[in-house]
Structure 1
Amino acid sequence: MSAETSAKTTADASAGGVGEHDPRALAAEAVGTLVLVFFAVGSAVLAGEFIGSLGIALTFGFALLGLTYVLGPISGAQFNPAVTLGMLLSGRMSPRAACWYWLAQVVGAIVGAALLFLVAHQVPGIRTGEAFGSNGYGHRSAVGLSIAGSFVTEVMLTALLVFVYLSVARRITLGSLDGLPIGLTLAAVSLVGIPLTGASVNPARSIAPALFAGGDALIQLWLFVLAPLVGAAIAVLVHRFTHAEPHDWFADIPWLSSKLNGKGGHRGKASGEAPGASR
């Protein structure tokens, strides 16, 4: 590792961020998303009839809570492309770092779903076709929620989750107590969302089970990718109005940042900050 790369990584870590090419952060995102999908989605697939919606919601919340304690200081324990989009739009991550995070999250989710699929096929009577913990609207919603209602639901639930992430994160990474509000928030939005849409709030969590469920799960997947991303953008807007935010919009895209922020420069670059995240 060169002296320049070492200094960049050290600066990122000391300020509460991660380097753009930090393999530990990418590994943490992949492993964390894998575990979240295997255990949380697995609670719905393997034990849903025994623990009900409350048990599934608590599994999601507790799994994320535990993961934030062990992986939050490394990568920020995002495990969710919508959360990563929120960090990108708020100027805390560069586009390149966000793309690497998205790749790690989706790969981790698919591996987790594949392992869950193998386990599910060892249990007699488990149905995976067009189900498998995937999200849905209309006839695939437990309450028959319409496509419009499902879109609004996913936008609002994701906006709340991303808003909490933005409010407690130290730039990107998380401290020892930051996992508690994040885990509780995921449990809360899951309690509301499971009867309505299956509670996506996470494109990676939706993509992976749908690939193995097939059928209508894949046809309806677009909503559970688009709506959480819209919710993340709304969360960034709201956070700008409620919190003092030192990060510029699109901080690592100078021409766009200058237009949206009304300035010719980028504070992070001028002060010698690493491009992966802003102070």
Structure 2
Amino acid sequence: MTALQKSLAEFLGTFWLVFGGCGSAVISAAYPEVGIGLLGVSLAFGLTVVTMAYAIGHISGCHLNPAVTIGLWMGGRFPAQEIPVYIIAQVAGATIAAAALYLIASGNADYSLAVNGLASNRVGEHLPGGFALGSGIAIEILLTFFFLLIILGATDGRAPAGFAPLAIGLGLTLIHLISIPVTNTSVNPARSTGPALIEGGIALSQLWVFWVAPIVGAVLAGIVYKVMGGSGQEIVGTEN
């Protein structure tokens, strides 16, 4: 596959992740009569990964996430020279998705960007859970670490074939069930950047947290997986 083909796949895949995941929170979970709640939003994020893994995994690997791209590189699974083009495509896809979501949500007279937002990531008193900044940083590092362990393990050449997208999607669902009250769940700098650029304000000023913490967790996972004897060989096209 060419760099352009991979970039387009990552752009579209990350668009789907942000539009589907954040869209479920902004459009569906915001209305009590729909009633999808925290569980529904968590499943939506997981389902975006599962569906895109099957759709574009064989083209780009379906990273959809700068932390995943960097973690796979650290784990010996991805070439360093392709990192910038993947990250640019991921951030662009997330930003366009957030803009599209805002365009659609603003068609409701009761919607306000300042009040309802775009399911951006934030910490402290800016979320109902009220967890401190340190808690947000810690959970983003920890959950991204385990997310990358799941990805590295599920796509290892010695792992059972064909199940990686399910393991990764379910892993992301579990991650959201744990951390939505703490940070609105990122573990993905691109997912955080798209909504923050459209919302501005607190989401943008705290964006650094959702780049630094997930990348730290991903790098640590890549190192630990190699120490545990993880294989550099992968099942092509089934990373997240």
Question: Which of 160, 168, 176 is the matching residue for 1:190?
Answer: 176
Which residue number in structure 1 is paired with residue 238 of structure 2? none
Report the equivalent of 2:231.
245
| 1:246-265 equivalence runs, <5 A | 246=232
User: 1:60 and 2:41 equivalent?
Assistant: no
Task: Provide closer, same or farther for how the CA distance between residues 246 and 29 of structure 1 changes in structure 2, counting only shifts above 3 A.
Answer: closer
> Is 198-207 or 120-129 further displaced after alignment?
120-129
Matched, 1:139 2:125: yes
Give the structure 2 partner of residue 28 of structure 1: 9
| 1:71 equivalent in structure 2 | 56
Structure 1 residue 151: Cα displacement: 0.2
**In structure 1, C-alpha distance between the alignment counterparts of 2:207 and 2:223, rounded to whole Å:** 25
Contact 1:46 1:126 in 2 (8 A): no
Name the % identity.
37
| Aligned-partner Cα distance in 2 for 1:181–1:142 | 30
Q: How far apart, in 2, do the equivalents of 1:126 and 1:237 lie?
A: 44
Residue from 47, 67, 73 that aligns with 1:82: 67
2:19 to 38, 45, 52: 38
Flag the 1:246–1:39 CA change in 2: closer, same or farther, 3 A.
closer
The aligned residue for residue 251 of structure 1 is none
Deviation digits for residues 163-191 of structure 1, max 9, x if unmatched? 111112258xxx64310000000000011
Paired residues of 1:150 and 1:196 also in contact (CA < 8 A) = yes
Q: Distance in 2 between matches of 1:165 and 1:136?
A: 25
Secondary structure (helix, strand or coil) at the match of 1:135 reads coil
| Structure 2 residue runs without a partner (length 5+) | 234-240
- Report the alpha carbon displacement of residue 225 of structure 1 after superposing the two structures with TM: 1.1
Q: Deviations over 1:173-218 (max 9, x none)?
A: xx64310000000000011111111000100000000111111111
What is aligned with 2:85?
100
Are 1:129 and 1:214, in contact at CA under 8 Å, matched by a contact in 2? no
Over the aligned positions, Cα root-mean-square deviation in angstroms equals 1.8
Match of 2:207 among 199, 215, 221: 221
Give the aligned partner of residue 237 of structure 2. none
Q: Does residue 114 in structure 1 map to residue 99 in structure 2?
A: yes
Secondary structure, aligned partner of 2:119: coil
Q: How many positions carry a matched residue from both structures?
A: 226
SS in 2 for 1:144: coil
Change beyond 3 A, Cα 1:169–1:23 = farther
Distance in 2 separating the partners of 1:157 and 1:44: 20
Does the C-alpha gap of structure 1 residues 152 and 72 become closer, same or farther in structure 2, counting only changes over 3 Å? same
Cα distance between partner residues in 2 of 1:141 and 1:147 = 11
CA contact (8 A) 2:156 2:232 kept: no
